[in-house]
Structure 1
């Protein structure tokens, strides 16, 4: 068995510039660790079978819910339970975030549409 390699989030974020297109940087136990850069508003959506963790590493994420909203700053995370409709928003500038979710998770959940990413790039 080989020694596991460490991952530099800063280095990995430096490898891409596109928004709303998560990149896989790790996998464990059927879960994927993904990085994403966002700007502006995403689509309202839910995930029927998957919970999602959003950890902010740069900027401030506004997570809208039908009954309220939460602001998540650098070093903070939020877990969105399966079935809860939500809309991630970068109100000002760009937000960098780490996502932790099952490998079956589609970024647009039940909403589908043009922002759906079916083939995720591995960094």
Structure 2
């Protein structure tokens, strides 16, 4: 391990301002960029978001999905979807928004919605740490939370 990386790892292990990262299972900072293509290649299950980075309390999660999710609401937070590959639909009770590759859409807090994709779609989700993917709906598609890849 290089001296810089060793110093970063040692600082992350010390109690104090970095200790929150260790308690939450967040990987120590590295000097490598995050390659989303490689991370997505490691992800095999649909509807199972995995954390790839954090910015303060905001998590960046990658997800693969196809078919239809569940109607749900996130009462306390907005939810952003950036489509990396494919196309998705975000349905609302009165309309539907199509989000294509390279496009971003933010679902406002408290708005009931459902996500769909006719064929496999890859997306980056931005939302605060601790948000459950099925929101208030629960059910079989509820994914484990705060899982890093």
Question: TM-score, normalising length from structure 2?
Answer: 0.78
CA–CA distance in structure 1, aligned partners of residues 83 and 132 of structure 2? 20
Question: Is the contact made by 2:130 and 2:145 (CA closer than 8 Å) also made in structure 1?
Answer: no
Q: Helix, strand or coil: the match of 2:42?
A: coil
Question: Is the contact made by 2:84 and 2:124 (CA closer than 8 Å) also made in structure 1?
Answer: yes
Question: Is the contact made by 2:48 and 2:144 (CA closer than 8 Å) also made in structure 1?
Answer: no
Structure with more contact order per residue of length (Cα contacts < 8 Å, sep ≥ 6): 1
Unaligned runs of 5+ in 2: 1-6, 9-29
Unaligned runs of 5+ in 1: none
Pairing 1:19–2:46 present? yes
Question: Is the contact made by 1:21 and 1:120 (CA closer than 8 Å) also made in structure 2?
Answer: no
Query: When you count helix as a share of all residues, which structure comes out higher?
Result: 2
Question: TM-score, normalising length from structure 1?
Answer: 0.94
Number of aligned residues: 122
Q: Which has the larger radius of gyration?
A: 2
CA–CA distance in structure 2, aligned partners of residues 118 and 37 of structure 1? 15
Question: Is the contact made by 1:20 and 1:37 (CA closer than 8 Å) also made in structure 2?
Answer: yes
Deviation at 1:22, TM superposition (A): 0.3
> Which portions of structure 1, spanning 4 or more consecutive aligned residues, are displaced by more than 3 angstroms?
1-4
User: RMSD of the alignment, in Å?
Assistant: 1.3
- Superposed CA deviations along residues 75-119 of structure 1, whole A, max 9, x for unmatched, are 00100011000000012x100000000002100001011111133
Question: Is the contact made by 2:59 and 2:129 (CA closer than 8 Å) also made in structure 1?
Answer: yes
Q: Helix, strand or coil: the match of 2:39?
A: helix
Pairing 1:69–2:96 present? yes
> What are the residue-to-residue correspondences of 1:1-123 with 2, within 5 Å?
2=8, 4-91=31-118, 93-123=119-149
CA–CA distance in structure 2, aligned partners of residues 27 and 41 of structure 1? 27
Deviation at 1:28, TM superposition (A): 1.2
